[in-house]
Structure 1
Amino acid sequence: MNANPSDWLFDLGNTRLKCAPLVDGRCGEVIALAHGEAGFVEKLDALLPQRGGVAHLASVAPQALTVDLLDRLATRFARIDIARTQASCAGVRIAYADPSKLGVDRFLALLAAHAHGDAALVVGVGTAVTIDLIDANGQHHGGRIAPSPSLMREALHARAAVLPIAGGIRIPFAADTTDALASGCEGAVLALIADSLAAARERLGIAPALLLHGGGADALQSALPHSLSTPSLVLQGLACWARLEVEPA
């Protein structure tokens, strides 16, 4: 199948918009824009085709931000396709009794993870940390949600302004406050991932692949040497969704 090169993929999160052209049914080169920064609108306008085919959108951002993006996309694309979580899709079966309660970003990441073929623990590090387990047969076993290290730092700073909101390095025992914050907040998430891996191994009888994605994943990867960096996992899953939307039943 040759997809229309004017079709695009959009992943709108709480901090960034990630987008890519859909090329031959797959995710093309990914561009990330921080929608809270100056010049976001101008950068997005320069990026988009003057007249595109289909804009495939996944959003977990606030409604007002999503509507603003939809309005902008509507001026450039003939059609907008909004991805939504389904109980069963592309061989993946969601564990939630009410699939609509599972964030579409987690759902799409599971579609992409399953396409890899092996059992996987999928860890997204954005505003929140999301952890989902999927077996090789496509069964989702549920997941966990926690604050990301950056959100922990923001929450601590909000309650105690003397605690710096950023900076520091992760070390076993820090000798200053900034390093202690980095070590504690990142260490909390690393411990959660380690516990989830152990629980996944016990449930499945094998060690799943560890897939990391999201804007905060790079900061943790050095402590997870066996993990796989999959920064475009949600967009890859959205490309899977797009193929299902255009292929005949």
Structure 2
Amino acid sequence: MSAWLFDLGNSRLKAAPLGEDGLPGDVLAFAHDGMALAAGWDSVLPPRIDAAHVASVAAPALRVALLDALAARAGRISLASTQPAWAGLRIAYAEPAKLGVDRFLTLLAARRRGGASLLVGVGTALTIDLVDAGGRHHGGRIAPSPTMMREALHARAAQLPAVGGGYRVFAADTGDALASGCLGAALALVGQSREAAVDACGGPVALLLHGGGAEALLPHLADAVHAPALVLEGLACWARPDGARR
């Protein structure tokens, strides 16, 4: 049976075949403007798909456009949603539906990898979640990503550029100061969360980074693991037969 995984985010659509090992295959990524999917994105897909598994945090109209495109070639479509418990994972939220499905799926992926993990997603927002080795989600944090911080400052003060500059502990020009301040704020939040995670779990906690902005943080975080397909990994867990869900 051919199955594909689709992760529709705020700025990109990611797609990958589901391998026989239960993991995503080679990942394809397509940028979008939040209003419409990239022209011709589906030309890379096979003419027929037995099953399509979808996770979406994008606007409803964009999600509908994706589902409509998949309906023309997929025998079955499943849309992932956050659940209070799944495959040994237990969500901390009293109202699980309020936890974004992308965060839920990264927690599933971390549970599959095993051990305690601090998950850091760097996209439009900076998200942080902790799951311990027993599968208990301790909760998380949401903050603006460094890119969003820059854009917000530029929107309020046009003389502050939205891009450019390099990271310096103490910068000697505005571009570097902006880059350093926004990236530094994210790094400080991750660092503080990492210390708290080790205390909460009573031992080592893996640091997994994903999202389009993760690479900017990686050089500054010792032992961090870049896991760019983490949402798709979790979606692959979601797609497993009913017997694997508990």
Q: TM-score, normalised by structure 2?
A: 0.95
1:179 alignment partner, one of 152, 176, 179: 176
Asked whether the 8 Å contact 1:113–1:120 carries over to 2, the reply is: yes
Asked whether the 8 Å contact 1:121–1:211 carries over to 2, the reply is: yes
**1:159 aligns to 2:156 (yes or no):** yes
Deviations 1:173-194 (A, max 9, x none): 1111111111000000000000
1:128-147 mapped onto 2 (5 Å cutoff)? 128-147=125-144
CA distance in 2, matches of 1:50, 1:134: 39
**1:195 aligns to 2:201 (yes or no):** no
Asked whether the 8 Å contact 1:22–1:239 carries over to 2, the reply is: yes
**What corresponds to 1:77 in structure 2?**
74
Helix, strand or coil: the match of 1:27? coil
1:238 alignment partner, one of 217, 235, 238: 235
Moved more, 107-116 or 198-207: 198-207
1:63 alignment partner, one of 48, 60, 64: 60
Q: TM-score, normalised by structure 1?
A: 0.94
**1:112 aligns to 2:109 (yes or no):** yes
CA RMSD of aligned residues (A): 1.7
CA deviation after TM superposition for structure 1 residue 65, in Å: 0.9
**What is the aligned-residue identity percentage?**
61
Deviations 1:158-205 (A, max 9, x none): 111111111111110111111111100000000000010111122121
CA distance in 1, matches of 2:92, 2:243: 26
1:32-51 mapped onto 2 (5 Å cutoff)? 32-36=29-33, 40-42=38-40, 44-51=41-48
CA distance in 2, matches of 1:185, 1:191: 10
CA distance in 2, matches of 1:148, 1:108: 20
Asked whether the 8 Å contact 1:197–1:207 carries over to 2, the reply is: no
**1:170 aligns to 2:167 (yes or no):** yes
**1:21 aligns to 2:17 (yes or no):** yes
CA distance in 2, matches of 1:167, 1:8: 37
Structure 2: which 5+ residue stretches go unaligned?
none
Deviations 1:102-121 (A, max 9, x none): 00000000011011111010
Give the AA of the match of 2:57. Answer: V
CA distance in 2, matches of 1:144, 1:39: 29
CA deviation after TM superposition for structure 1 residue 41, in Å: 2.1
Give the 3 Å change call, closer, same or farther, for CA 72–216 of structure 1 in structure 2: same
CA distance in 1, matches of 2:244, 2:51: 14
Helix, strand or coil: the match of 1:174? coil
1:214-229 mapped onto 2 (5 Å cutoff)? 214-229=211-226
Give the 3 Å change call, closer, same or farther, for CA 39–147 of structure 1 in structure 2: closer
CA deviation after TM superposition for structure 1 residue 246, in Å: 8.0
CA distance in 1, matches of 2:193, 2:222: 16
Asked whether the 8 Å contact 1:88–1:94 carries over to 2, the reply is: yes
Deviations 1:215-234 (A, max 9, x none): 10001000002111111010
- Runs of 4+ in structure 1 deviating by more than 4 angstroms, as ranges, are 245-249
Give the AA of the match of 1:10. Answer: F
Asked whether the 8 Å contact 2:165–2:176 carries over to 1, the reply is: yes
Asked whether the 8 Å contact 1:48–1:76 carries over to 2, the reply is: no
Asked whether the 8 Å contact 2:210–2:227 carries over to 1, the reply is: yes
Helix, strand or coil: the match of 1:171? coil
CA deviation after TM superposition for structure 1 residue 148, in Å: 0.3
